[in-house]
Amino acid sequence: MREYTLTAMTSIDTLPESASASSKRRYNLFLLVVAGLGGLLYGIDVGIIGGALPYLEATSRLTAAQLSVIVAAVLLGSVFSTLFAGMLADWLGRKPLMILSGFSFIVSIPVIALSQGYGPLFFGRLLQGVSGGLIGVVVPLYLAECLAARDRGKGTGAFQWLLTLGIVAAAVVGIYFSYRVQAVASTADAATLFGFKDQAWRRIFWVSLPPGVLFVLGSLFVTESPRWLFRRGKKTLAHEALLRSRTPEQAGIELAEMEETAHTATAKRSSGEKLHDSLLRRKYVIPFLLACVILFCNTATGINSIIGYNAGILLQSGLSDLHAHWGYVIFTVVNFLMTMVGMMLVDRKGRRFLLILGTSGIIVSLVGVGVLFLRTENVSVDLSSRVQAMVSPNQELTLRFDRAEANQLLAAQGVADKLAKQVDGDRASLAIIYSYGDFTAATSFVRSDDPAALPIQITRASCVPANKVEAFFKNPFANLEAAQSAPLKIVKAPIGRVPDARHGWLVAFGLYVFMAFYAVGPGVCVWLALSELMPTRIRSNGMSIALVINQLVSTTLAGIFLPFVSKYGYSSMFFLFSGFTVIYFVVAAFFLPETKGKTLEEIEAHFEGKPTA
């Protein structure tokens, strides 16, 4: 009887402890889910434009420069928010900033989807970028401060994997609407197809709304960061926050460590102790410069531009609208799968090895894609003189580039240009580079086999800035007053052959190779390697500066992408990306130390020139 009573009492005593452990596991899992939703949202921020851009380009009447700015606006917004994310996280707290970042994303969707012009569309994309920049900083920061040490790797992994899954999800949404567009194209007239394409890109953005709502709801139910609460003097709340994910013993130990660190810092301040450690020392300058060069080159591989313009690139390479969207889906799946492979290899093979491997593969793939485009771009004819003759007396141009017009232009040009006979007017593309005075602009490529394509429209407003401020940023040496009355000049009007589907799939394969090597190398390693490179004293500010450089480069490349390829071709852009990646390879191979398995002190000693064990 006594044994029965003892057993029963033991079961009753351990039940609350077991229930408590189960509750903590559920809460830790909930934190990982919220982190994953943050990554998913960040991925959607980056990837959603890829599926929407072809329909936006076909229906919005925006110029190539304006479309490039719309793509780049997310990156520009991310630059602004990254600059202030750390300060806002310290001021508001981690949890409120997570809610704010999710709310910004939610608000951006109707602004974009309901926009009727360039201004609202730009503002919505900028707001979406602000959201992404905040999420990219505050979610990893929150996880590092809230998760127990054994779960931090899972949290980072959940954020990274769901980020790539967000890009996949955005591509899947795009392919769904591509099927819908194809179905409408086979049964409806051009006007109906145009209207459906206009609704398609808007609906693509609407579909991305639910993850933002779920992220905000999830953020409402997590606790504030215990370390932020402690630094604010709220020790009781910090202890309660720790107890939600840790045992009482673990919570007590971590709280004691916080108190000891705070006490040491207070003692140093009160005694007037200062660290006479110049920031110009070798151990600070060299890793900081390495970080800036690596982050510059990391985005100069063209990764964000290739993601954002992927469907458009595949369309121009010869794939149909449906196949181009399928190509983009496969591209994002490669990113997702190879990211997981990279995360499994990074602690086995090391950061430097994977960066060298990744950049080598990127160079080969980019050069291969550039050569494929160069072969087709060489078969093109400049029709600038014939297009110039079509300019109206008010110095504007409206040109519907369909099969009939393409064949007529080629037939007229063929008398003087034998190369014109190699271009099929039924499957041709045209872009026009034009100028008013000192200001130059370019249209996007238009295909003659697209029945829903808008006419090419060139007006002074599409090229000449509206004021002196805008004129300064577009061309600081230009004469704005002269451009406002200058005639329209057609600088170049290349009509080229749209390649066949085989060529398109070869380009797609080259992009898959690019994505695989990027994901397994720079995509996984760059942030980990740089966080280990930076000495503790300058890590926060140094990484912020390097990250801003990274995003400014990304914004610039995305902003010039369409005007650049209109003037110089896709091949030149891919060769430019490969040139930057060569620099990346040299830095990784000859200047970057391996940081795997080394303490931060050993890494600092390496940059200071001291021998390490």
Map residue 442 onto helix, strand or coil. strand
Mean pLDDT of 63-70: 78
- The upper half-sphere exposure of residue 286, i.e. CA atoms within 13 Å in the direction of its Cβ, equals 15
pLDDT value at 3 more than 90:
no
Question: In this predicted structure, which of 10-14, 284-288, 355-359, 450-454 has the lowest mean pLDDT?
Answer: 10-14
- Cα three-residue angle 179-185-187, rounded to 5 degrees: 110
Strands 380-382 and 456-458: unpaired
Which region among 139-153, 398-412, 504-518 has the lowest average model confidence (pLDDT)?
139-153
* Dihedral over Cα of 135, 138, 140, 142: its sign: negative
Of all residues in the chain, what percent carry a pLDDT higher than 90? 16
What is the predicted pLDDT for the residue at 402? 86
C-alpha closest to that of 54 among 188, 163, 189, 193: 193
How confident is the model over 421-440, as a mean pLDDT? 84
Q: Which residue has the higher pLDDT, 551 or 125?
A: 125
Residue range 242-251, pLDDT digits in tens: 888 777 887 7
Question: Does residue 4 have a pLDDT over 50?
Answer: no
Stronger pLDDT, 366 or 31, i.e. the higher one: 366
> Dmax of the chain from CA atoms?
111
Q: Can you tell me the distance from the alpha carbon of 137 to that of 86, in angstroms, rounded to the nearest whole number?
A: 7
Residue 238 has pLDDT above 80, yes or no: yes
Which residue, 586, 589, 580, is CA-closest to 301?
A: 580
Q: Supply the pLDDT for residue 5.
A: 37
Across residues 97-121, what is the average pLDDT?
91
Q: Which residue has the tokens 């190398």?
A: 521
Confidence of residue 509 (pLDDT cuts 50, 70, 90): very high
**pLDDT computed for residue 7 by the predictor:** 37
For residue 14, the model assigns a pLDDT of: 43
Domain annotation for the chain: domains and CATH numbers:
19-222 (1.20.1250.20), 228-262 (no CATH), 279-379+500-613 (1.20.1250.20), 384-465+475-492 (no CATH)
Beta bridge pairs of residue 241:
none
- Distance in angstroms (rounded) separating the CA atoms of residues 132 and 551: 12
The three-state secondary structure class of 429 is: strand
Contact 435, 463 (CB under 8 A): yes
Angle between helices 2-59 and 310-317 (to 10 degrees): 50
pLDDT above 50: residue 2: no
* Host H or E run for residue 172: helix 149-187
What is the pLDDT at residue 534?
62
pLDDT above 70 (res 18): no
Span of 9-18, 258-267, 393-402 with lowest mean pLDDT? 9-18
129-143 mean pLDDT: 81
Contact 249, 270 (CB under 8 A): no
Give me the helices (H) in 301-400, please: 303-308, 310-317, 321-349, 351-377, 384-388
Q: How many helices (H) and strands (E) does the chain have?
A: 24, 9
* More confident of the two residues 441 and 369: 369
- Over 80: is that where the pLDDT of 393 sits? yes
Residue 10 pLDDT grade (very low, low, confident, very high; cuts 50, 70, 90): very low
The whole-angstrom separation of Cα 425 and Cα 418 is 14
pLDDT at position 272 over 60? no
Strand order in the sheet with 428-430: 380-382, 494-497, 428-430, 446-447
| pLDDT, tens digit, 9 for 90 and up, residues 547-577 | 777 778 877 887 788 778 877 888 999 999 9
Query: Tens digits of per-residue pLDDT, 149-190?
Result: 566 556 666 677 788 888 888 888 888 888 888 888 888 888
Task: Tell me the pLDDT tens digit for each residue of 280-308.
Answer: 566 667 777 887 888 888 889 988 888 87
Give Cβ neighbours of residue 487 (< 8 Å, ≥ 6 apart).
391, 395, 436
Q: What phi, psi does 440 have (nearest 5°)? A: -120, 145
Residue 283 confidence (pLDDT): 60
pLDDT category at 379 given cuts 50, 70, 90 is: confident
Specify the pLDDT at position 280: 57
Question: DSSP string covering 88-140, please?
Answer: HHHHH-HHHHHHHHHHHHHHHHHHHHT--SHHHHHHHHHHHHHHHHHHHHHHH
Per-residue pLDDT averaged across 422-439, rounded? Answer: 84
At residue 276 the predicted structure's pLDDT band, cuts being 50, 70 and 90, is very low
Residue 271 predicted with pLDDT over 60 = no
- pLDDT for position 26: 83
Average pLDDT, the chain: 80
Checking if the pLDDT of 32 tops 50, the result is yes
- Over residues 6-28, mean pLDDT: 56
Is pLDDT of 140 > 50?
A: yes
In terms of phi and psi (left: phi > 0; alpha: psi -120 to 50; beta: otherwise), the region of 435 is: beta
pLDDT higher than 50, residue 6: no
